[in-house]
Amino acid sequence: DIQMTQSPASLSASLGETVSIECLASEGISNDLAWYQQKSGKSPHLLIHTTSRLQDGVPSRFSGSGSGTRYSLKISGMQPEDEADYFCQQSHKYPLTFGSGTKLEIK
Amino acid sequence: VQLVESGGGLVQPGRSLKLSCAASGFTFTDSYMAWVRQTPKKGLEWVATISSRGTTTYYPDSVRGRFTISRDYAKSSLYLQMNSLKSEDTATYYCARHGLRINFDYWGQGVMVTVSS
């Protein structure tokens, strides 16, 4: 199984600050990486797929990058509505696996 | 797109439970569908996937042989039959639609399953 190691586990950022979250795959996943946002009490919501492709309606302050085993999500200019949990997921092969999540809070 | 789960609840270890998911707002017959579960301790865990035609299913080792995913095209519904339930199956279960790259582009609101005596 492909293990997804996500860091940091938690993060605190000021409004307007740029933040980054990383995922490290235990083997190469050929850019088959998605990012999800989950707000408190809600279902996860797809933000980015295939490493860097924004889902329709996702603000452009969200971006994704990476290759091989290392991938990252960047939020350029933290907004109040960005306070949430974020998860990565590899879609390279079954079993599909998720990172452990990053809790992003406003400082 | 709307996905609405039902069928959750409290069940004793070793017993069975069947979850349902009513799908609307998209072409159900064209979409791979899945179940994903979540616990505060273990996070998100993919549980099962079924192909658009229903001919192929995928499971992780943790549920293979105990859980069965199925779909009813006439009812635009997805199901998860869970047998031989264990305490570690306690979780919120989400119905989800697969996107083009085997990600999950739409999720239901989730249904709670508690396995306890």
B61 and A CB contact within 8 Å: yes
Residue tagged 């996905």 (tokens): B3
Please tell me if residue A51 touches chain B, with a CB cutoff of 8 Å.
no
What's the pLDDT at B82? 98
pLDDT digits (tens, 9 = 90+) for A5-54: 999 999 999 999 999 999 999 999 999 999 999 999 999 999 999 999 99
| Residue B40, pLDDT score | 93
Q: Measured on CA atoms in the order A100, A103, A104, B2, is the torsion positive or negative?
A: positive
The predicted pLDDT at position B55 comes to 96
**CA distances, B17 to each of A5, A12, B20, B58, B92 (Å):** 32, 40, 10, 19, 14
Instruction: Tell me what pLDDT residue B101 has.
Output: 77
Q: What is the pLDDT of residue B117?
A: 96
Cα–Cα distance for residue pair B110/A82, rounded to 1 Å: 22
- Per the CB < 8 A criterion, the answer to whether B8 and B19 are in contact is yes
Q: Which residues of A touch B107 (CB under 8 A)?
A: 43-45
Q: Is the pLDDT of residue A99 over 90?
A: yes
Scanning the structure block, which residue is given the tokens 């960047």?
A: A74
pLDDT at B87: 97
Q: What's the gap between Cα A53 and its chain centre?
A: 12
Residue ranges in chain B modelled with pLDDT below 70? none
Rounded to a whole number, what is the distance in Å from the CA of B36 to chain A's nearest CA? 10
What does pLDDT average to over chain A?
97
Give chain B's count of helices (H) and strands (E).
0, 11
B26 touches A at CB < 8 Å: no
The verdict on A2 touching B (C-beta cutoff 8 Å) is no
Span A86-100, mean pLDDT?
97
CB B110 within 8 A of CB B6: no
Could you give the percent of chain A with pLDDT greater than 70? 100
* pLDDT for residue B102: 86
- Judging contacts by C-beta atoms under 8 Å, the chain A residues touching residue B44 are 44, 87, 89, 98, 101
